[in-house]
Amino acid sequence: MRVYTSLTRPKLRNGCDHRLNALNVLITLGFSLSCLHHLSYLWIPVVIYYMLRTLFRWTAKVDPDWMPVYTAALKLKRIFYAHSDPREREKRPRALLFKRPRWSV
């Protein structure tokens, strides 16, 4: 029996994943609420919405599964440099702020 890919993949909204579309709408709403005190600035959220929408559509055309790859990469905690041992624990960095003397409390 055939299984169509349209049944296995979630429906794309505006050419991108539904979570990205919701994020785009939330960002646009935030900018539009901040621009309500000057109505002449309401063109800015419209531009932001269509810029993000176009960016998400272009990335979805190139690779529809790019979002899980980037979220998995963001979850990685360690960065390994060239010629380093991954089993070696990183040293805690030295404190940048100096300690106050007791008399200045």
Residue located via tokens 């531009």: 47
Do the domain assignments include residue 89?
Answer: no
Do the domain assignments include residue 92?
Answer: no
Do the domain assignments include residue 96?
Answer: no
Do the domain assignments include residue 1?
Answer: yes
Do the domain assignments include residue 19?
Answer: yes
- Whole-structure pTM value: 0.55
Do the domain assignments include residue 24?
Answer: yes
- In 3D, which of 48, 71, 68 has the Cα closest to residue 60? 68
Do the domain assignments include residue 11?
Answer: yes
- The predicted-structure confidence for 71-81, as pLDDT tens digits, reads as follows 777 776 666 56
Parent domain of 7: 1-74
The domain total for the chain is 1
Q: In angstroms, how far is CA 80 from the centroid of its own chain?
A: 23
Report which of residues 101 and 42 the model is more confident about: 42
Do the domain assignments include residue 105?
Answer: no
